[in-house]
Amino acid sequence: MELPELFVIGDSISIGYGPSLESMVHGVFQYGRKGGALDPLGDVVQGGDSARVLDYLKQLHEKRTFHPDVLLVNCGLHDLKTDRESGEKQIPIGMYERNLCEIARTAAQLCGSMIWVRTTPVLFARHRKVKTFDRYEADVDSYNTVADNVMAAEGIMSADLFTFTVKLGVAEALKEDGVHFRPVASRLQAAYLAGYLGRLRAGED
Protein backbone atom coordinates (compact mmCIF):
# COMPACT_ATOMS: atom_id res chain seq x y z
CA MET A 1 0.00 0.00 0.00
CA GLU A 2 1.39 3.39 -0.99
CA LEU A 3 2.01 5.77 1.88
CA PRO A 4 0.22 9.14 1.98
CA GLU A 5 2.37 12.04 0.85
CA LEU A 6 3.44 14.78 3.28
CA PHE A 7 4.82 17.91 1.63
CA VAL A 8 6.48 20.75 3.59
CA ILE A 9 6.64 24.40 2.53
CA GLY A 10 8.42 26.42 5.17
CA ASP A 11 11.16 28.81 6.18
CA SER A 12 14.63 27.91 7.42
CA ILE A 13 13.18 26.66 10.72
CA SER A 14 11.54 23.85 8.75
CA ILE A 15 14.88 23.16 7.08
CA GLY A 16 16.31 22.71 10.59
CA TYR A 17 13.72 20.22 11.80
CA GLY A 18 13.13 18.65 8.37
CA PRO A 19 15.66 15.77 8.40
CA SER A 20 14.49 14.62 11.83
CA LEU A 21 10.84 14.94 10.83
CA GLU A 22 11.46 12.90 7.69
CA SER A 23 13.06 10.17 9.78
CA MET A 24 10.30 10.24 12.40
CA VAL A 25 7.42 9.93 9.90
CA HIS A 26 9.15 7.15 7.94
CA GLY A 27 6.68 4.33 7.36
CA VAL A 28 3.73 6.65 8.03
CA PHE A 29 4.16 9.32 5.35
CA GLN A 30 6.17 9.74 2.19
CA TYR A 31 8.09 12.94 2.94
CA GLY A 32 8.78 15.73 0.47
CA ARG A 33 9.48 19.45 0.64
CA LYS A 34 9.83 22.55 -1.47
CA GLY A 35 13.16 22.40 -3.26
CA GLY A 36 13.67 18.78 -2.26
CA ALA A 37 12.06 15.39 -2.72
CA LEU A 38 8.75 15.32 -4.61
CA ASP A 39 8.96 18.99 -5.65
CA PRO A 40 7.57 19.15 -9.21
CA LEU A 41 9.03 22.63 -9.77
CA GLY A 42 12.57 21.97 -8.53
CA ASP A 43 12.45 25.28 -6.68
CA VAL A 44 14.81 26.54 -3.98
CA VAL A 45 14.35 24.98 -0.55
CA GLN A 46 13.65 28.20 1.35
CA GLY A 47 9.92 28.91 1.60
CA GLY A 48 10.35 32.65 2.08
CA ASP A 49 7.59 35.12 2.89
CA SER A 50 3.86 34.69 2.32
CA ALA A 51 3.94 36.32 -1.12
CA ARG A 52 6.58 33.84 -2.25
CA VAL A 53 4.69 30.87 -0.80
CA LEU A 54 1.50 32.01 -2.50
CA ASP A 55 3.26 32.39 -5.85
CA TYR A 56 4.75 28.91 -5.48
CA LEU A 57 1.34 27.37 -4.72
CA LYS A 58 -0.19 29.11 -7.71
CA GLN A 59 2.53 27.65 -9.94
CA LEU A 60 1.81 24.19 -8.53
CA HIS A 61 -1.91 24.68 -9.16
CA GLU A 62 -1.21 25.58 -12.78
CA LYS A 63 0.64 22.29 -13.29
CA ARG A 64 -2.44 20.27 -12.22
CA THR A 65 -0.25 17.33 -11.17
CA PHE A 66 0.55 18.19 -7.54
CA HIS A 67 -1.83 16.57 -5.05
CA PRO A 68 -0.17 15.65 -1.72
CA ASP A 69 -2.31 14.16 1.02
CA VAL A 70 -1.04 16.59 3.64
CA LEU A 71 0.50 20.02 3.08
CA LEU A 72 2.47 21.41 6.05
CA VAL A 73 2.85 25.17 5.56
CA ASN A 74 4.61 27.99 7.40
CA CYS A 75 5.52 31.57 6.58
CA GLY A 76 5.92 34.55 8.88
CA LEU A 77 9.52 35.09 9.94
CA HIS A 78 10.38 36.67 6.60
CA ASP A 79 7.15 38.65 6.45
CA LEU A 80 7.79 40.43 9.73
CA LYS A 81 11.35 41.45 8.90
CA THR A 82 11.63 45.16 9.74
CA ASP A 83 13.88 47.59 7.90
CA ARG A 84 16.08 49.23 10.52
CA GLU A 85 15.96 52.68 8.92
CA SER A 86 12.40 52.96 7.60
CA GLY A 87 10.63 50.65 10.04
CA GLU A 88 8.78 49.04 7.13
CA LYS A 89 7.89 45.36 7.21
CA GLN A 90 8.85 43.07 4.36
CA ILE A 91 5.16 42.11 4.17
CA PRO A 92 2.83 44.46 6.11
CA ILE A 93 0.43 42.63 8.39
CA GLY A 94 -2.65 43.49 6.32
CA MET A 95 -1.04 42.06 3.21
CA TYR A 96 0.09 39.04 5.24
CA GLU A 97 -3.53 38.39 6.17
CA ARG A 98 -4.67 38.63 2.55
CA ASN A 99 -1.87 36.35 1.39
CA LEU A 100 -2.73 33.74 4.01
CA CYS A 101 -6.38 33.75 2.96
CA GLU A 102 -5.34 33.07 -0.62
CA ILE A 103 -2.75 30.48 0.46
CA ALA A 104 -5.46 28.59 2.36
CA ARG A 105 -7.88 28.67 -0.56
CA THR A 106 -5.24 27.68 -3.11
CA ALA A 107 -3.99 24.84 -0.91
CA ALA A 108 -7.56 23.51 -0.64
CA GLN A 109 -7.46 22.89 -4.38
CA LEU A 110 -4.13 21.06 -4.19
CA CYS A 111 -4.17 18.71 -1.22
CA GLY A 112 -6.23 16.47 0.98
CA SER A 113 -5.60 18.63 4.04
CA MET A 114 -3.41 21.56 5.00
CA ILE A 115 -1.79 22.06 8.39
CA TRP A 116 -0.54 25.50 9.35
CA VAL A 117 2.58 25.73 11.56
CA ARG A 118 2.63 28.78 13.84
CA THR A 119 5.69 31.03 13.57
CA THR A 120 8.42 30.31 16.11
CA PRO A 121 9.84 32.73 18.72
CA VAL A 122 12.70 35.18 18.23
CA LEU A 123 14.96 37.03 20.64
CA PHE A 124 15.33 40.65 19.54
CA ALA A 125 18.47 41.40 21.54
CA ARG A 126 20.44 38.52 20.01
CA HIS A 127 18.99 39.03 16.54
CA ARG A 128 19.91 42.70 16.44
CA LYS A 129 23.58 41.96 17.10
CA VAL A 130 24.03 39.83 13.98
CA LYS A 131 21.41 40.95 11.43
CA THR A 132 21.06 44.10 9.31
CA PHE A 133 17.28 44.12 9.87
CA ASP A 134 15.14 43.56 12.94
CA ARG A 135 12.62 40.99 14.10
CA TYR A 136 10.52 41.89 17.14
CA GLU A 137 8.94 39.49 19.61
CA ALA A 138 5.73 41.55 19.57
CA ASP A 139 5.47 41.15 15.79
CA VAL A 140 5.70 37.37 16.09
CA ASP A 141 2.68 37.53 18.41
CA SER A 142 0.77 39.89 16.09
CA TYR A 143 1.45 37.90 12.93
CA ASN A 144 0.60 34.64 14.71
CA THR A 145 -2.72 36.12 15.86
CA VAL A 146 -3.59 37.11 12.29
CA ALA A 147 -2.67 33.61 11.09
CA ASP A 148 -4.72 32.00 13.87
CA ASN A 149 -7.80 33.96 12.82
CA VAL A 150 -7.35 33.19 9.11
CA MET A 151 -6.84 29.47 9.66
CA ALA A 152 -9.79 29.23 12.05
CA ALA A 153 -12.03 31.00 9.53
CA GLU A 154 -10.84 28.67 6.74
CA GLY A 155 -11.24 25.53 8.88
CA ILE A 156 -7.52 24.70 8.79
CA MET A 157 -5.73 22.96 11.65
CA SER A 158 -2.78 24.71 13.30
CA ALA A 159 0.23 23.02 14.86
CA ASP A 160 1.34 25.31 17.69
CA LEU A 161 5.09 25.10 17.27
CA PHE A 162 5.39 28.54 18.87
CA THR A 163 4.02 27.48 22.27
CA PHE A 164 5.85 24.15 22.16
CA THR A 165 9.14 25.98 21.57
CA VAL A 166 8.46 28.51 24.32
CA LYS A 167 8.07 25.58 26.73
CA LEU A 168 11.52 24.32 25.74
CA GLY A 169 13.01 27.60 26.94
CA VAL A 170 13.57 30.12 24.16
CA ALA A 171 16.95 31.40 25.34
CA GLU A 172 18.33 27.87 25.61
CA ALA A 173 16.77 26.64 22.36
CA LEU A 174 17.85 29.52 20.11
CA LYS A 175 21.26 29.98 18.54
CA GLU A 176 23.18 33.23 18.89
CA ASP A 177 21.38 34.78 15.90
CA GLY A 178 18.16 34.87 17.92
CA VAL A 179 16.01 33.17 15.28
CA HIS A 180 17.41 29.72 14.38
CA PHE A 181 17.47 26.75 16.72
CA ARG A 182 20.13 24.51 18.17
CA PRO A 183 20.07 20.91 16.83
CA VAL A 184 18.53 19.44 19.98
CA ALA A 185 15.66 21.95 19.82
CA SER A 186 15.12 21.26 16.10
CA ARG A 187 14.86 17.53 16.85
CA LEU A 188 12.31 18.18 19.58
CA GLN A 189 10.31 20.41 17.21
CA ALA A 190 10.34 17.55 14.71
CA ALA A 191 9.10 15.15 17.39
CA TYR A 192 6.24 17.51 18.23
CA LEU A 193 5.18 17.77 14.59
CA ALA A 194 5.59 14.03 14.01
CA GLY A 195 3.31 13.35 16.97
CA TYR A 196 0.78 15.85 15.64
CA LEU A 197 0.85 14.25 12.19
CA GLY A 198 0.64 10.76 13.67
CA ARG A 199 -2.51 11.66 15.58
CA LEU A 200 -3.98 13.15 12.42
CA ARG A 201 -3.19 9.98 10.49
CA ALA A 202 -4.61 7.74 13.21
CA GLY A 203 -7.82 9.76 13.22
CA GLU A 204 -8.22 9.25 9.48
CA ASP A 205 -7.66 5.46 9.57
Each residue's pLDDT tens digit, 121-167: 999 999 999 999 999 999 999 999 999 999 999 999 999 999 999 99
Q: What is the pLDDT of residues 50-76, one digit of tens each?
A: 999 999 999 999 988 899 999 999 999
The packing angle between helices 183-204 and 161-168, to 10°, is 140
pTM, to two decimals: 0.94
| Domain ranges (residues) in the chain | 5-196
Q: Beta strands 113-117 and 70-73: pairing type?
A: parallel
Q: Is the pLDDT of residue 205 over 50?
A: no
Q: Are 17 and 72 in contact (CB under 8 A)?
A: no
**CA 119 to CA 58: how far, in whole Å?**
22
Architecture of domain 5-196: 3-Layer(aba) Sandwich (3.40)
Pick from 11-20, 85-94, 195-204: least confident: 195-204
Give the span between the Cα atoms of 100 and 147, in whole angstroms: 7
DSSP 3-state of 150: helix
Q: Are 190 and 17 in contact (CB under 8 A)?
A: yes
For residue range 79-91, what is the model confidence (pLDDT) as tens digits?
Answer: 999 999 999 999 9
